[in-house]
Structure 1
């Protein structure tokens, strides 16, 4: 080994330490038995990443889209969900096949300046994501219990303690907590959709058949881009590539191929749940606001205020707030875990588990509390929009490295995605970049 290659070799060796070592390969996987037992063993990571696809940041765009344009944007929700399924499948493949999460892969294969740039962009994205999630939790606590927004943000920041406790009991405990909250969200919106009694034919027609108006109507295109930009969460790509490695599958080629198959099924099923929730938010918004002449409704607070009287269901607003609280809690928990993965993967920090989580949580939660204290109740809607714009700016920094690694035979070997999937993934990446550039252009120039 030459002196020139030694530092790079040492860096790659350091980056190849297990991701989330305290829970790495701790969930048992049966080597025999029925396919149902195998599926159950791999179910969990997909539901953790699905949280990011139905977090409070998505609610504002779904509410505004339904109130203003009816069912038309259901197609955009379906399209963005299909894009998410592809990208998360690539993320799981990278983690299982290479044994590295996305942050570790960036550290191993990119020059140090590029690595630091990607780390900084990702930290900004996690802070922006926390902004939406903590504000959503604070709004829910305010709507349900009258707790001021600043104190609600502080309460939301205590999730680091919850993560520490659940992780100390085992990764399955954390997954069970997330699934329980997802079930609450699903049930709440299921009841609201039943109460709304929307026309099924209009729903399926709009979901599978795109309207030309999505492109020709500038206002509709702006919200459509916002939905796509808010759906694919950058930190989810880092998170998924790490937590799929919690399964104790055989680290052989055959074992990895089997794990990739089951992990892909897990994430696909979980993202279909996210599709239902996002579609349900838009559908309820159509029936409650668009069809009753209240197309001006765009904020979460305004939607909560009008939901019960317009739907004729007394508990509709309460169900809405409960689902929002569950969504916010879920999202802050997974963002905390993603923050740890990002900091460890990019910087290779060796700190105690509790110190890492408190550090990553503090970097994100302190700006959130400060901003919430400054803007107060009147600015929460604008802050949610701002958080989605910041996320849009960071998204290419996660998507492009992911597609690069997943399609590279030098990194993935025989597990590199086929050429057709590679071409589709690059097309999705380019589309996301173009749409997010337009979103930023329209946002800052007001076009």
Structure 2
């Protein structure tokens, strides 16, 4: 039996009244398991109940060992809690034409992969995480998802003041006290305190204040937490409207049972919906924003020069421009190349566009991101289909042998989904799967 802090129970009763007993009962039940399919990767189907607010979301009857499924590593689906998938519905209703989006607190990548799936295919997504180790995980998950154009940054919210009025959509899934994750994360219970709630609310306000100038006047802010208390939710929305300058936007939830409108946002409770605790609100910025910087003057400083190398490895319709700095080749969307080079000059970027290849002596070694990109032209690539045991060996970064495959760089696939590269030497092959991504458990 899970024991909740007495003060949490008292505050939750004040919030929910007699409904708290239903919430408490739900928190002692097993958490539902859900995944979201990568709908830009056709050909994969999964049986299960559909998440009401996201047609790509599927509830599973049981929790499998996801690590042992190569399709997870290929980006065919993402394991995501169902309530948080509602972000996609908010964007479809309130920001369907967003051109340039910032996911400010993006790790591990659930919201960002959902954004890249929901935004127009030619929209630009910048995904940021302040903690370096978490930013690396964010980049990994976005590479596996395979969509472009994207950038992954490792910066503080205040750093985005260097990009005034750059974004017309900002998503802040704020660090919070985690009350909505109590049944999935026991540490959230032991770490809970009223002081932590207060500290989280102060931190959230600072994050929003620091990054506010990066959102255009008239731009949309989507704010969310996985907690219940008013300090981190409705009171933070009041702060944004009063101190930063914004107006609250209503979301149509009439098609979805169980979502509670609190007057300042939308609440998801485990006893009312099939998911975890979640709060989300949307606002339109009304305050004046600083003038946007002129981009063309800054991009001349980049060490990257346009190149025609490797162009055949991208689909003809990709609309990408390739750049070479003597060490690596990257591909940037023609539509966003100046903006992405500008971002590289202003922020600490872990990823911009598509990493195509790295130079090693006279050789060009294909990048792992290229293997997983939806823009890869597989007609120009040597490929080898492998079975499940071989796929798991590959994902552990063990040596594998490819029979009847050509010499040189080969794209290894499982159920026709790309996993990565090997350099086939005939009697053996060099496994080029990223060292820090390898499966470490015994599967």
TM-score computed with the length of structure 2 as normaliser = 0.23
Would you tell me which structure has more helix in proportion to its own residues?
A: 1
Would you tell me which structure has more strand in proportion to its own residues?
A: 2
- Give the structure, 1 or 2, with the largest relative contact order (CA under 8 Å, sep 6 or more): 1
